[in-house]
Amino acid sequence: MGVLRSKKVVALVAALVVAAGLATVAISAVLSQTVMVDATNIHLRIARTHANGFDSGWHTHPGLAIVQVQEGSLQITQGGCTAKTVGPGETYIEVPYTPVRAVATGDVRWTTTFLVHYEEPVLTPLTTSPCP
Domain boundaries, the chain: 2-31, 39-125
Judge if pTM exceeds 0.85: no
Give me the helix-helix angle, 2-20 and 23-31, nearest 10°. Answer: 160
Check whether 2 has a pLDDT greater than 90. no
Nearest alpha-carbon partner for 72 in 85, 83, 88, 48? 88
Averaged pLDDT, 67-92 = 97
Confidence of residue 86 (pLDDT cuts 50, 70, 90): very high
- Mean pLDDT for the stretch of residues 96-112: 95
At 118, the pLDDT band (50, 70, 90 cuts) reads confident
CATH superfamily of 39-125: Jelly Rolls (2.60.120.10)
